[in-house]
Every structure is written in C-alpha cells, then in structure tokens.
Amino acid sequence: MTKNVVQVRDLYKDYQTAAGAIAVLKQVDFSMDTGDFVAIMGPSGSGKSTFMNILGCLDKPTRGEYMLDGHQVSALDGNTLAKIRNQTLGFVFQGFNLLSRVSLLDNVALPLVYSGVSRDERQARAKVLLEKVGLGQYLNSMPNQISGGQQQRVAIARALVNNPRLILADEPTGNLDSKTSEEIMALFMALNADGISIILVTHESDIAAHASRQIRFLDGRIVHDERSSPIVNASETKEIA
C-alpha cells in the first residue's frame, strides 16, 4: 500500500497549433494521499481539464512524471492505459455519459465486459452497486426513463463497479439543480468515508467545499492549494462490491 495514490512531478503539456506550441500545463507538481478528496477549481482554459485527462490516462504529458498508485504510467502503451482506466480508475462526467440504448444494469456492468468478467458475475456486481446508490428498483430501466440526478448515480455506480483506486469526477454536478447536486455530493462524501480517493473538478466553490482539499489552477499552474479538513479515512480502501 502506497501512501500516495497520485504523484505528479514536473509535468508539462504542450499543444501543437498552427500558431506554434501552446503550453497548457507548466511544471505542475501534485501529490495526493490515498483516501483524500481533492477539488480542482479554476477558470476555463486554466489547464484543469487537461490535467484531469492526464490523470485519467486519456492523454499523455509532453514531459514529466506521473505515478498512479505506485506505478509509473507516463510511458505506458495504449492497451495498458486502457487496462488502468478499466481497473484502477473510475470516471464520472458532467453529461453522465450513459449508453442510451442499454439498461441501467448493463450500463453499470459495462466496464466488467472489458475486464473479462463472466455475465452472471457482471450482473450480480452491477445489481449490488445500483442498490448501493439507491436505484435497486430501476435495474432494467433505460437511462431516458430516469432523472438527471438518478442518471448521475448510475454513472457513479458504473465508476465503482471495478473497485477503482481513484474516482475522477469532471463537473459531476454541472448539469444538476442545487438540491440534486447536494445529494450527489453527499454520495461522494459517503464513498470517501469508505476510503475511496476522489478528485473532483468544479466551477462552484460551495461544491468544492465538500472536499477535504481545494486546488486552484490558473494559466497552467497550481496557484492555490489548501486543506479544509483532514482526510476522513486514511486507512486502506475497502472493497465496494
């Protein structure tokens, strides 16, 4: 068990454009303890989305080092990165990003298809998680039959289905009203209390206030890093399903 779930050192990301290279991330250093709950804030174009994409193994840094759960990932190939996304990370998006033609149960079970889990076990694990997020009665419903808040709960269940080390949530409350946002944040806090590490990107400071630690990006650098409360549960991450 490593103490740091994420360790980023001297990270740079450049984009090539017609006007030349644009530096989006400049010398970012960041480390995060296992079990921590970090909120990333910053204006549009500050580099926070690019940072999330790199943390999520969807993008590669131009330079620098990224250790995830004790493993060097900045130099891995596509298949290995896919495996990390599948088994070490869980994604929650602003637009929920459920498959519209697929039942909630199969949506939650989808990551297990790519880890080669048998059908029966996929269904069983997905069912447990849907019940955990309070949607046990909607197993065979379609995403368009439930509300936005409920869809985001399904997406969280999907992110949890493979027992990830880290949840990456990109503006998970951006499309929700304030009451539903509170419910979703309560769910995240409960998960964090179970020992799951969470990184959350948000525009809203009251949402960020739910996290234990707040970081602010500006022009590709971390300009603000503050701990508002201690890590809730620094012990080893519990098995979810």
| Site pattern 74..113 for another protein (x: CB under 8 A) | ----xx--xx-xxx---x-x---xxx-xx-------xx-x
Q: Which is nearer to another protein, 99 or 223 (CB)?
A: 99
Q: Which is nearer to another protein, 132 or 158 (CB)?
A: 158
| Site pattern 114..153 for another protein (x: CB under 8 A) | xxx--x----------------------------------
- Asked whether the beta carbons of 147 and 134 are under 8 A apart, the reply is no
Q: CA 238 to CA 224: how far, in whole Å? A: 31
Structure tokens given for 20: 């030349």
Near another protein in 196-225, by CB under 8 A: none
> Which residue type, as a one-letter code, is found at position 27?
Q
What SS3 state is found at 6?
Answer: strand
What's the min distance (Å) between Cβ of 230 and another protein? 31
What's the min distance (Å) between Cβ of 100 and another protein? 8
Strands 71-72 and 63-68: antiparallel
What's the min distance (Å) between Cβ of 184 and another protein? 19
- DSSP letters, 88-152, are TEEEE-TT----TTS-HHHHHHHHHHTTT--HHHHHHHHHHHHHHTT-GGGTT--GGGS-HHHHH
Near another protein in 150-169, by CB under 8 A: 158, 162
Q: Is residue 174 within the footprint of another protein (CB under 8 A)?
A: no
Strand 37-41's sheet: what is its strand order?
A: 89-92, 166-170, 197-201, 37-41, 213-218, 221-227
What's the min distance (Å) between Cβ of 27 and another protein? 22
Q: Is residue 20 within the footprint of another protein (CB under 8 A)?
A: no
> Which residue type, as a one-letter code, is found at position 162?
N
- Asked whether the beta carbons of 201 and 173 are under 8 A apart, the reply is no
Question: What sign for the dihedral angle of Cα 122, 125, 131, 132?
Answer: negative
What's the min distance (Å) between Cβ of 205 and another protein? 25
What's the min distance (Å) between Cβ of 166 and another protein? 14
Taking CB under 8 A as the criterion, the residue among 29, 33, 59, 194 binding another protein is 59
Please report, as ranges, the residues that interact with another protein according to CB under 8 A.
53, 56, 58-59, 78-79, 82-83, 85-87, 91, 93, 97-99, 101-102, 110-111, 113-116, 119, 158, 162
